[in-house]
Structure 1
Amino acid sequence: MTAVFQFVLLSILFHGISSEPGKLSFASYYGDHMVLQRAPQRAVVWGYASRLFGSVTLTVTGAGTGGGTYTSRVSPHPDVGGTWSVTLRPVNDTKPYTIKLTDTRNTEELSDVLFGDVWLCSGQSNMQFTVNMSYNASVQLEDVANYTSVRVFTAREATSSVALRDLKAVLEPWSIPSKASLDGTEFTYFSDLCWLYGRYLHDHLYYPIGLIDTTWGGTAIEQWSSSTVLKKCNVTPKPLHDSELWNAMVSPFSSMSLFGVIWYQGESNAAEPSTYNCTFPGMIEDWRTHFSSNSDTRPDFPFGFVQLGAFRNDSSITTGFPDIRWHQTADIGYVPNNRMPNTFMAVAMDLPDFKSPWGSIHPRDKDTVARRLVMAALSVAYNLTLGQIQGPFPESFQVDSAYMTLYVRYADGNLAPIRSNKGFEVICSPYDKYINSHHVHDGADWSSVPIIQSDDTSLTLDLQQACANQTVAGVRYAWRESPCDYKACAIYSRYSDLPAPPYYVVGDLP
């Protein structure tokens, strides 16, 4: 008895496979009107076989130069009979193609297939937040005819206790943008941030963009992370929930080639934020490992994310969201950095929407978020120099004891006139109590200090009320769940109008 025959027999006995193998088909996330990853990467196409032994032929035809014929052997699979997989040669033109799959008895076909950059959009409800829920929904829906080469796909919510190769179900197959394909029921399809990100990318790149929406509201990062990440970060297992969305809603896509990922999540981890500075960078690294191992996705593919926005209309809350924002940068304050290479982010804390009909945790201005995210993506992911990708970040601090002031210096002469004199806090000690401490708990005595002077390179903070006859041991900025009114935080860049991210420095002041 051959090894292959033994494998198939055991599959039939222990996995319930009938003696009639599955129908010849493509995997669930391939379809008419889809976008496959363009050159220099190679797209992967795979699916199921109608005959357990033998081979299938894949023929790619179209008006462009990327056609060809490929053959794949059918491999036994314990759950579905047999599978096949083909890695295409790189395609860099924008013309539509037809992909025909055949074996000795059957034929399946994909039509109007474009080659472009495929981005996966994932996270919880602010990524799931749909086009029809946004401020400018009607304008967006009227403009879709100009973006027919930006294609959309939505995975259905699903969980699994083991990593799957294919999706359990599809909510919205690959579609050309239209009112029907974008204007689904709230929190179903299509993601507003994902759509805006894709169309603004298209405005700069002028070639097809494929957008995959795989999201679930109210979910924690542990659900989107593999067991490898959770073990590395010493996360206590929750067997019914941990890794279930990685298994069912992300792992399947690792068998196709992607260009990059954008992510909006963290609200559900704000109550217990302590491990996020490990799980988030760890999840990014782990996703990169899986995708690059299973397809022609780059091992350092670009990963963008939205730093958490505002929530409640209460300026006194200093825990939870501020901690997650800091941990989203691996406690460095900006990206990319050594712990998070080839990443980019959009600051959203200055876009509160306390009257949102969807709750203040769901601000409706996803347009500004998308524009900020694309500005960063064009630099980090596409190496296009279009100016700064993040708002001002301090270079140094200097205390003038004679005048009880603190100078915060920035680079490039890029500070816009301040929009508020609020946002800074310091912690002080008469005996350098905190100088050697790199983590000060929120219960410590932080005091607000006003900005009393600014120019295009520095700010001056007044310490007289906070630190009279004391040493400045730390400074933080915008360390609030909801730090300011709409686009009215203190610090923005002069030329790109990007808000400064929050930051936290203790023990490192001169």
Structure 2
Amino acid sequence: MDKILKAIFFCLLFLAGSTVKADIIFPAFISDGMVLQQQTNAPLWGKTSAGNRVTVVTSWNNKEYVTESDNRGYWKLRVETPGAGGPYSITFKEENNSITLQDILIGEVWLCSGQSNMEMPMKGFKNQPVENANMDILKSANPRIRLFTVKRNSTLAIQEDVTGEWAPATPASVKEFSATGYYFGRLLQEILDVPVGLVCASWGGSWIEGWMGTDMLQSFPEVRLPEKESDIREKNRTPTTLYNAMISPLVGFSIRGVIWYQGESNYDRYHNYTDLFKTMVEGWRSKWDQGPFPFYYCQIAPYDYALVTPEGEEVINSAYLREAQLNAERAIENSGMVVLLDAGSEKGIHPAKKQVPGERLALQALAKTYKIEGITADSPVYKEMEIRGDTVILSFDRTDMWITALNGELNHFTIAGSDRQFHKAEAWISRSKVYVKADMVKEPVAVRYAFENYVEGDLFGTEGLPVSSFRTDNW
């Protein structure tokens, strides 16, 4: 025992008489191989000893930036980023230390978030493949696409960092990355010809409430906020916990915008989804403090949720959630929704067609954020109806050219009279308007299109984008 005590004493004596070298610690996503958003004042931050002078030098312009860590050792500053390019380096210096981050690209950075249809990797899930994935993985090597996957985490307290690392696109890294996110980034990189960084923070089965901070949920008294660890019974379905652990640590890292694919786990609570979603988007934008950045999202794809009454009627109709998402697009500034009514899977909640949502999200960004002319990103949307005798005439907005019927037939319209009983209807197109009627409804008052859990949409714009399910009533 005396020998152990003496050893401890001499160790302490040695430390007391020596200079301890402080390390500069960065969040996981500020590292070698990262992508910084181009042409902005990009925040960089970290931790060192309290009161240390920190000097940052960026290789693209050899400019020097200086700040000082606070009494807890935290420091933060902004650096001017040039137009797209690289690789570059950034050197961080303090009194007794110097660290250089290498292989940094400057380009476009997008955050990808949501639940399993965003999380689903290119390699697919068990017994649930991604269409054409093997060949796309094979051809995926591209050092100008960088991928960062945030490891799943759910916490009561707000975290300072996440677990993950940047990797260039290779077959090995792409195989594990979000398929929707990868197809989005691949098309962006191909068209813009700049580096693209994708940060994916998603968790299958998650509720939207989990991705919202406590302050964002104050106006929703029906949402029960966790107060102690034992309140977290389902890690992906407890309000605030995913935001605390997977989003809040990213706040401040400059991004161009967000792509989002979520809603399946909220389909049975559609009544407040529009308000929740709008509040979440506005909350994230407020936290990032870089203005109303673009927020593009997927309407959930059709799926047979297999919840029916003994009479065979659907207990819950996910078309109401799709409607809530459609309404959110009108309510949220600088947003865009992609319709997937043609890309669902009747018996699989994870459709194999992941290139469809990824590239349609990219169309949103290319048309609206990057202002590429000559392309269409938005599906036509129902505008108004006119009743002429026994026929309802439907008009549409956002029809850059015309609307059309897939394979020449419209099979998913129903029509109702004042009794509110819907009947299968005949429908046809004339001069970009849809005419709807049914022999059993002589005095129609309402029409619905594709308003059910699973459906294969057949109404499109001639640019190839499907029309969302909709209804003219509010019953």
TM-score for the superposition, normalised by structure 1 = 0.80
What is the deviation of 1:354?
A: 4.1
Shift of 1:428: 1.5
Q: Within 5 A, what are the aligned runs for 1:86-105?
A: 86-105=77-96
**TM-aligned CA deviation for residue 501 of structure 1:** 1.0
- Distance verdict in 2 for CA 1:326–1:223, change over 3 Å: same
1:501 aligns with 2:462: no
Q: Is structure 2 residue 421 aligned with structure 1 residue 423?
A: no
Which residue is equivalent to 1:108? 99
Aligned 8 A contact 1:121 1:213 in 2:
yes
Aligned equivalent of 1:462 = 437
The superposition leaves residues 161-205 of structure 1 with CA deviations (integer Å, 9 ceiling, x where unpaired) of 1223322x22xx111111221223xxxxx1111111001011111
Query: 1:313/1:350 Cα in 2 relative to 1: closer, same or farther (>3 Å)?
Result: farther
Which residue in 2 is equivalent to 1:447? 423
Q: Could you tell me whether the CA contact under 8 Å between 1:392 and 1:500 is conserved in 2?
A: yes
Q: Which moved more, 1:96-105 or 1:311-320?
A: 311-320
Amino acid at match of 1:33: G
- Matched with 1:323 is 320
Pick from 167, 179, 187 the counterpart of residue 175 of structure 1. 167
Show the counterpart of 2:388: 400
1:350 corresponds to 2:342: yes
Aligned residues: 434
2:460 maps to a residue whose letter is Y
- Residue in structure 2 matched with residue 206 of structure 1 by the alignment: 193
Residues 477 and 108 (structure 1), Cα distance of their counterparts in 2 relative to 1, 3 Å cut: same
Give the distance between the partners of 2:270 and 2:350, measured in 1 at CA.
20
Say which of 69, 78, 82 aligns to 1:74.
69
| RMSD (CA atoms) | 2.2
Between the two proteins, what is the percent identity of the paired residues?
Answer: 26
- Alignment of 1:53 with 2:40, yes or no, is no
Note the C-alpha offset of 1:476: 2.0
The C-alpha deviation readout for 1:445-482, integer Å capped at 9, x for no partner, is 2332121x3234112212322x22x3x33222111111
SS at match of 1:506: coil
Conserved 8 A contact 2:21-2:96? no
1:36 matched to which residue of 2?
A: 36
CA offsets per residue over residues 352-387 of structure 1, 9 Å max, x none? 2346xxxx0011110011121111221222222233
- Name the counterpart of 1:227: 214
Given the alignment of the two structures, is residue 490 of structure 1 paired with residue 453 of structure 2, yes or no? Answer: no
Which whole-Å CA distance do the structure 2 matches of 1:286 and 1:139 have between them? 39
Q: d(CA) in 2 for partners of 1:158 and 1:95?
A: 32
Find the aligned partners of 2:65 and 2:203 in 1 and give their Cα distance: 37
State the Cα distance separating 1:416 from its structure 2 match: 2.2
| Cα pair 1:407 1:458 within 8 Å, conserved | yes
1:125-204 paired onto structure 2 within 5 Å:
125-133=116-124, 134-145=130-141, 147-167=142-162, 169-170=163-164, 173-184=165-176, 190-204=177-191
* Structure 1 SS opposite 2:242: helix
Whole-Å Cα distance in 2 between the matches of residues 137 and 412 of structure 1?
32
- Aligned partner of 2:411: which letter? K
Distance 1:216 1:196, change over 3 A: same
SS in 2 for 1:113: strand
- Equivalent positions of 1:297-312 (< 5 A) are 298-312=290-304
Cα deviation, residue 391, structure 1: 2.2
* 2:376 equivalent to 1:409: no
